[in-house]
Amino acid sequence: MTHPASQEVQSPLVVGVGASAGGLEAFQSLLTALGDSPGFAVVFVQHLDPNSKSLLPQLSQNITPMPVVEISGRKKLKRNTVYVSPPQSLLELKNGFVQIVEPAEERHPAVIDHFFHSIAEDTGARGIGVILSGGGTDGTLGLKAISDRGGLTFAQEPRSASHDSMPRSAATTGVADHVLVPAEIAAELLLYVRHLDVLTEQRHAHDADSIIARLERELETTRSDLDRTLQDMEAANEELKSSNAELLSMNDELQSANEELETSKEEIRAGNDTLSVAIADLENLLRSTQIATVFLDDQLQIRSFTPAISDIYGLIPTDVGRPLERFVPFVDDMPPLPNPKELTLRGSIEHKVHANNGETYLRRVLPYRSHTGTSEGMVCTFTNVTDLTESEELFQLLIDASSQMVWVTNSEGKAVDDSPGWREFTGQTFDE
């Protein structure tokens, strides 16, 4: 599939891919999923011994229909082309040309960081960076540079990498917009280019005719794909019927079951839509609330949290799944989390805590109840009670300074405070 809208731009989108140990296999998976014309230029930079001979162009030719070019001298980047850096070479991108440069210092430079910084400088928001399998942290600072200029950044899902140091560094520092396996990275890249194409077409269209025509073409293509799919399914169905005579006698029953499945599918779809709306409402509620809240599972690991928790813990989205007790709170003398059995018996446990920002919070810990009513963790909320605390302290000062006889009771009628004037009048101590 070509991308006419993106081709209107003189310089193509540039996707920089950095890897080290184990990165070749991940890069091959990425290229296979991209197909023959993704609509952008791919530049691959890999840590290799400077004396080794790169086999990457030959290997890449076997798994991608796109041209594969090993960089030498100065080359103008073209769409739908894969460019491969020689072993341990320092690349720079300038004005749409990529070239090999000499390092400014004798020590081995971070080749991926260097190239990613040049992508950020040369292409700005049109730059894209991808970190695959490898050891060390090379590429993390480069991804940050691309992200700071408005570009798109990816890191390979560390569990899918044979060497996870490089992608894990990018993921845990928060500089990667997406953390995915190589095939999913390819899918996101194709969607991103398609999205840019649509925006460009809409921006340059004088009327809606071109958009309608494009949609009609896509609809016709979809119909053709569906027709081919149905034909393939019918052919497979005939083969199955011819290979198993017993299925012929069950055809009516299968048809009836299929109708029931269609009905169930509609019901499931309706239920999924309702669930999606409920989930979206809940996510918006959590984002909009000003109460700092963190949800923990039965292992006291983070399920989710509201943005306001940043006043108490410096959590980021990649901290989900980690134990809360490993994080140092911005609070003096934070009480430890209660024992789950004690919490289940008491229902909730409250403590006042004083944050480093001068605010006072009421920490309330409650059991996390599942849809069956069982306890499957904890919910910790931090309610800002600074104004209430200051009012209580002011009220106490007024009581202590008052010459009047004052006493305060709770909802059960028990005295919880009194003034010195009351004690002098009655001759009783506070305990009495």
Among the listed residues 352, 373, 375, the one whose alpha carbon sits nearest the alpha carbon of residue 364? 352
Q: Tell the residue number behind the tokens 């934070």, with chain if given.
A: 334
* Catalytic (active site) residue 20: yes
Catalytic residue among 113, 122, 138, 197: 138
User: How many angstroms from the chain centroid is the CA of residue 181?
Assistant: 13
Using an 8 Å Cβ cutoff, are 147 and 177 in contact?
A: yes
Catalytic residue among 47, 114, 117, 163: 47
* Catalytic (active site) residue 138: yes
Give the Cα separation of 223 and 147 in Å (integer). 39
User: Given phi > 0 = left and psi -120 to 50 = alpha, else beta, which region is 76?
Assistant: beta
Give the Cα separation of 89 and 83 in Å (integer). 13
* Catalytic (active site) residue 417: no
Catalytic residue among 6, 20, 60, 89: 20
Give the Cα separation of 166 and 175 in Å (integer). 12
Give catalytic residues, as residue numbers: 20, 47, 138
